[in-house]
Structure 1
Amino acid sequence: MSTSPIEAEARAILADLTGVPDAHFHEGQFEAISTLVDARRRALVVQRTGWGKSAVYFIATLLLRRRGAGPTLLVSPLLSLMRDQVAAAARAGVRAVAINSANAHEWDDARQALANDEVDVLLVSPERLNNPRFRDEQLPALMGRIGLLVIDEAHCISDWGHDFRPDYRRIAELIRALPANLPVLATTATANARVVTDIEEQLAVDAGGVVTIRGSLARASLRLGVLELPDSRARLGWLLSHLGDLQGSGIIYALTVSAAEDTARLLRDAGHNVRAYTGRTDTDERAESELMLKNNELKALVATSALGMGFDKPDLGFVVHLGAPSSPVAYYQQVGRAGRGTDRADVLLLPGSEDREIWRYFATASMPDEERARAVLEALGSDPISTPALEARVNIRRTPLELLLKVLDVDGAVHRVTGGWVGTGQPWTYDADRYARIARARLDEEASMIEYQRTTECRMATLQRDLDDDTAAPCGRCDRCTTAWYPSSISEQAATEAAGSLDRVSVEIEPRRQWPTGADRLGITLDGAAVRGKIPEALRAEPGRAIARLTDLGWGGTLREIFAPGTPDASASPALLGAAIRVLATWGWSARPVAVVSVPSRSHPQLVDSVARGLAGAGKLPYLGSLELVNGGPRGSAGGNSGYRLAGVWDGFTVGPDLMAHLAQVGPGPILLVDDRVDSRWTLTVSALALRRAGATAVLPFALAIVA
């Protein structure tokens, strides 16, 4: 037993925190506290979710404060996590405040409280560390006062972590600037040996190294299982049949926003009290949904990975996955939401055949590209350029551009200042070897996730081994240690409802109403004048329709196969044409189209022509033919930003003389404009503009699929 003089004091704080007078520390908790308070050293704590990592830094904070130390700076990655941490701190008698994008109205009060020494813990996001005003005006003074630095969810520091964030790499610079005797604590529940080594190297400042406290990651409360079903219809049918049988309330994870929203809609239509929770969900609605789930006012949140680290509901009864995450580490992190304060929670994975395709998309989307990085560096100088202005100079969309800027900032090649970004002039080298290693690691993780699904051994032990936990042993509860604890049956009614939901068609194509920023800089003019501001109503498309998004659970699968690389062009199948006709039947337009025109397609000419002719025949409308390609047609590659995408299709289409004559013959009325798929919407916008200028009174865009 420890003989540290602070142990009794620490136990008293623990009793206040837990409300249990005779509360005892878990193995390793007091060791971590003593490392920080007695030894003033740096510690890495890798322990399972629910072990009590927050108790370590709250108790250490109070002990250090009582000994004259300054406040703790806690770097925390998620707003939902901050809300829980502030509430938990208050229960422990710790005065905690947060500064983040959701509470800007409270920043002045927080700064004043810090100045008055009335704050024990300041919570900030890693992104806040590079906010110019915070970084330049407030952080230096704060770093001179803090008594403890805490990095929560520290796996985000590492390139190898499942949720790596460029802003977290900046923390290593912060650590290097601290005095060697200022205690630092990094905590995570999801780190394998490679991630642990990476974090240790970033924390270490001297020969004393880092004290790593690592415990067993086994979760005694979780009952794991995997149920392989043939398709999305069966998986949704299972949910409809058995969601009500799962104990308590929980989380249903989906891999895409569309899948989460579609699943939530289906379950609500069947009478289940659920909500969708995704990156598209409004911030206030997210907070409301979290609270409703915590209060058991919902059966489940149907969520993407937007609901993850830090969400704390001790009695969460179940976690179900519709599709597998791309790594066992990410899966362990998500299932760790369940059973933190209960004896049992059910965890079931329903893998999908489309999982690998989705993994590939997200893996490639997050990797920096050398050519694009060079373009950004060439566009930046010593004068600040805002992100929107920079977007108009480089062919990169906003989200990947912001990610790339963060990477370049951490690499020292660019710097964020008031008003935007500047180049530093420092030499920069693209670390191809590092990114190749990361890519290989991601593939290994995907293979491990497949192995988790197929294993004949204990599920929990398999997850522990994937996190390099050498205490792995059979859990005695999962479907491999015993038998399948979950039913596999699907009621006929549920199967019918799921099939009906998956067969649902019609997604709105919102028309472009504004020219992109910087279009004039790219030489785009209309009648001799640069395009900027609003697109004139007389030249706009009307709201359009598509059968489905490529990411949808139902028709999305069929459309993904049609548009998959290597799939030969062919006429639309009767089923696909029938789905397109159903979209038109439910459109609800204010005026029926008078004719059909198609967008010329270089990749799917048979498909587009057959759909256009089929819709014309079904609607007893004349098919007037296709727009013509001019000036070589559309140019450039997909995936760039709006300005460059518009420039790529501008002056690429025209209304030829034959089509012009046909338009004159049909007279006034809306034109149904048919395309294969929609991504940026600029092809439809430019095509509609050409038709409007040729005399069409309105243009109704129709596409088979929406890419995003």
Structure 2
Amino acid sequence: MTNADVTDPAALRASADSVLARLVSDPTGTARLREDQWRAIEALVADKRRALVVQRTGWGKSAVYFVATSLLRERGSGPTVIVSPLLALMRNQVEAAARAGIRARTINSSNTEDWDTVQAEVAAGEVDVLLVSPERLNNPDFRDQVLPKLAAATGLLVVDEAHCISDWGHDFRPDYRRLRTMLAELPAGVPVLATTATANARVTADVAEQLGTGAGTDALVLRGALDRESLSLSVLQLPDAATRLAWLADHLGELPGSGIIYTLTVAAAEEVTAYLRQCGHTVASYTGRTENADRQQAEEDLQANRVKALVATSALGMGFDKPDLGFVVHLGSPSSPIAYYQQVGRAGRGVKHAEVLLLPGREDEAIWQYFASVAFPPEELVRRTLDVLAQAGRPLSLPALEPLVELRRTRLETMLKVLDVDGAVRRVKGGWTTTGRPWSYDAERYAWVARQRETEQQAMRDYAGSTNCRMEFLRRQLDDEEAAPCGRCDNCSGARFSDKVSGAALDAARGELGRPGVEVEPRKMWPTGLAAVGVSLKGRIPEGEQSFAGRALGRLSDIGWGNRLRPILAAQAPDGRVPDDVVTAVVTVLADWAKGPGGWASGAPEAPPRPVGVVTVASRSRPELVGSLGARIAEVGRMPLLGTVEYAPEAMDTRISRTNSAQRVRALHAAFIVPPRLAEELVSADGPVLLVDDLSDSGWTLAVAARLLRRSGARGVFPLVLAVQT
């Protein structure tokens, strides 16, 4: 392509259509760009403008940047840099680029061993497209050494899933705000493209404003109608989790092609996968806990239709591209209609019909509340963090900083990223430092974002209960001015799914969800940084002070026992005696535990002795629940109730931090004591004890209590709780 081609719109359009034909593997060469695709490409290649494309999933946003890349590279421009949030998205895009003869490479957390090679290839001009994860943008080495060179050489910058830039949106990611710096440092005349399918009017305006950083001109905004004519939306209200699972077992085979079953939690994804496999369905789990190699295999199996479905959390989200995906089922309702629209948009991209089905559950709102609890911290915690960094006089790593502030590590890291964007802190080699610049807490903005989350949750309740067009509802949530009844959803054309389930499937589902017992791994290492808060514990917990592996009746995030336990263990729940059905289930857990691998009744050569007594953990909020649970276990197991690990008198009013491990251990370390009478019982007991509590959310209460019991003479400690938080 010559410079004349760029100034001749007809010649440029012909070249663009030719690249598109290669991209979509069209041997006839008749493929043609959509009008807005062409407008975006023309703006990028001929006018070197900045553009924001807001179009529905499957519209072809990636075609815009791949075609533009090919045309710009032919003209001598540097490589395209694509900031892309997910590994699945990167893998799809590398494969798509290859079809168009475009050489694409990635730099992300899964290929660290390739980074030097990739950077050398970029420097040698051997790479047309470099995909980087947003987290790389604030890695000190990458930011200070690679990014300036990359910005200087970039021929086109692409920001994929650009709604992540805006904290007005449903999926704000602080690392994306680093793009402000890169945008400001791009040489004049370097085009920029931002793409998303999930931005309402406010998010669109925010992203467009940020795109203008350093450009001197407004960004071109191309926003299209968001209807997906292939999607048929439905909601099926079923009475409980077992019925929803049974429905899936009975009807999964009737859904078209292969698809995705979304769950709200990792635990639910694993439960559903296990159950559906038992029922003979070929499915695989895909969550944030899935190893990278297993994720890639699962993606390939779905692409090749070797599985009927992936049972996935939001870890399988933006950008996963399978044109013939036939269905998306949500087992549980996402908290945002915009996030829901994005996930259902995985289906029906290259087929005429795809089914989208929501199966809401009563546990959904509890899960929404949990995720809402990790919002931006209150001002006093932010100020405390800034003060600690200022006083340190040197960079502090996350492990070093965490013991000094009451925030869990993931929440602390997110907060620091926001402060970094705001200019209050900076990530450097060795950790984080304060910049000393003035900083103000934008309480009004954070409050607005919190209210927006509540509004989105109410919208999802309204969506599930609506008798009006469902696609129109979602489009209006995204401020689509062309929203109109779709004529395809269950409210427009009538229900397509029966709520009937077979007795066999329902019995099997109840058996799966009603099966109690979750292993509780013991803590084996003390958290780092305890010395900084005055506690002289570090390294590995001595084996003689550890507990054995424990058991819980269930996880609070389960769709089985979690649903039963959440109301009992909710913060506002009244204290009371343990219910009989819960006791019966706990007895089942104990029996299975005793006979299972490594259990005291397993007959294994290394099996520990049988517990000979019960000890409870003192509880401020639920003393009757914990006390009655310990007493019932002692009664059923014909063991003595030996006593309680109690609060020290001076610690009765001490607040036990529930934020991070170091702060929690600091408080617990001084809070508990083993009373003399209990110590005497432990010394005379001829075997280990069961340590009973209601809830384990971090494992540190059990670890500290077990250490005290072992140091007081207990020959072993088996923790037993009603629920674990994860």
Summarize deviations over 1:281-335 as a string: whole Å, max 9, x none.
1111111111111111111111111110011111111100011111111000000
Q: Is the 1:634–1:648 contact (alpha carbons within 8 Å) kept by the matching residues of 2?
A: no
From 290, 296, 313, the counterpart of 2:305 = 296
Distance across 2 between alignment mates of 1:602 and 1:487: 48
Q: Is the 1:634–1:652 contact (alpha carbons within 8 Å) kept by the matching residues of 2?
A: no
Report what 2:262 is aligned to: 253
Report what 2:127 is aligned to: 119
Distance across 2 between alignment mates of 1:142 and 1:349: 44
- Asked if residue 315 in structure 1 is aligned to residue 315 in structure 2, the reply is no
- Asked if residue 491 in structure 1 is aligned to residue 497 in structure 2, the reply is no
**Aligned letter for 1:261?**
E
Summarize deviations over 1:647-666 as a string: whole Å, max 9, x none.
1111322221222233344x
Matches within 5 A, 1:67-466: 67-205=75-213, 208-381=217-390, 382-466=393-477
Distance across 2 between alignment mates of 1:654 and 1:153: 53
Q: Which moved more, 1:249-258 or 1:655-664?
A: 655-664
Matches within 5 A, 1:578-657: 578-588=584-594, 589-590=599-600, 591-630=609-648, 631-633=650-652, 635-657=654-676
Q: Which moved more, 1:283-292 or 1:185-194?
A: 283-292
Q: Tell me, which stretches of 5 or more residues in structure 2 are unaligned?
A: 1-7, 601-608
Matches within 5 A, 1:657-672: 657-665=676-684, 667-672=685-690
Q: Tell me, which stretches of 5 or more residues in structure 1 are unaligned?
A: 525-529
Q: Is the 1:386–1:419 contact (alpha carbons within 8 Å) kept by the matching residues of 2?
A: yes
From 465, 473, 476, the counterpart of 2:484 = 473
Q: Is the 1:257–1:278 contact (alpha carbons within 8 Å) kept by the matching residues of 2?
A: yes
Residue 679 (structure 1) shift: 1.3
**Aligned letter for 1:537?**
E
Distance across 2 between alignment mates of 1:164 and 1:258: 24
Q: Is the 1:507–1:546 contact (alpha carbons within 8 Å) kept by the matching residues of 2?
A: yes
Give SS of 1:7's match.
helix
- Asked if residue 34 in structure 1 is aligned to residue 42 in structure 2, the reply is yes
Q: Is the 1:506–1:545 contact (alpha carbons within 8 Å) kept by the matching residues of 2?
A: yes
Residue 628 (structure 1) shift: 2.5
Residue 78 (structure 1) shift: 0.8
Q: Is the 1:53–1:187 contact (alpha carbons within 8 Å) kept by the matching residues of 2?
A: yes
Summarize deviations over 1:24-65 as a string: whole Å, max 9, x none.
112311011001111111111011111111110011111111
Q: Is the 1:633–1:649 contact (alpha carbons within 8 Å) kept by the matching residues of 2?
A: no
Summarize deviations over 1:423-471 as a string: whole Å, max 9, x none.
1111111110110111111122112212211222211111111111112
Q: Is the 1:515–1:534 contact (alpha carbons within 8 Å) kept by the matching residues of 2?
A: yes
Q: Is the 2:549–2:718 contact (alpha carbons within 8 Å) kept by the matching residues of 1?
A: yes
Distance across 2 between alignment mates of 1:603 and 1:27: 63
Q: Is the 1:512–1:681 contact (alpha carbons within 8 Å) kept by the matching residues of 2?
A: yes
Distance across 2 between alignment mates of 1:327 and 1:649: 38
Give SS of 1:598's match.
strand
Dislocated runs of 4+, deviation >4 Å: none
**Aligned letter for 2:396?**
I
Residue 629 (structure 1) shift: 1.8
Distance across 1 between alignment mates of 2:566 and 2:119: 51
CA 1:256–1:199: 2 relative to 1, 3 Å? same
Distance across 2 between alignment mates of 1:438 and 1:546: 36
Residue 176 (structure 1) shift: 2.3
Give SS of 1:6's match.
helix
Distance across 2 between alignment mates of 1:54 and 1:553: 37
From 543, 547, 551, the counterpart of 1:545 = 551
Q: Which moved more, 1:131-140 or 1:179-188?
A: 179-188
Residue 3 (structure 1) shift: 4.4
**Aligned letter for 1:317?**
G
Residue 634 (structure 1) shift: 7.7
- Asked if residue 575 in structure 1 is aligned to residue 558 in structure 2, the reply is no
Report what 1:557 is aligned to: 563
Report what 1:527 is aligned to: none
- Asked if residue 688 in structure 1 is aligned to residue 706 in structure 2, the reply is yes
Distance across 2 between alignment mates of 1:656 and 1:368: 38
**Aligned letter for 1:646?**
V
Report what 2:3 is aligned to: none
Residue 633 (structure 1) shift: 4.3
Residue 189 (structure 1) shift: 0.7
Residue 180 (structure 1) shift: 4.5
Distance across 1 between alignment mates of 2:209 and 2:654: 47
Summarize deviations over 1:492-541 as a string: whole Å, max 9, x none.
111111111111111111111111111122222xxxxx221111111111
Provide the TM-score with structure 1 as the length reference: 0.97
Report what 2:723 is aligned to: 705
Q: Is the 1:153–1:187 contact (alpha carbons within 8 Å) kept by the matching residues of 2?
A: yes
* Length, aligned pairs only: 701
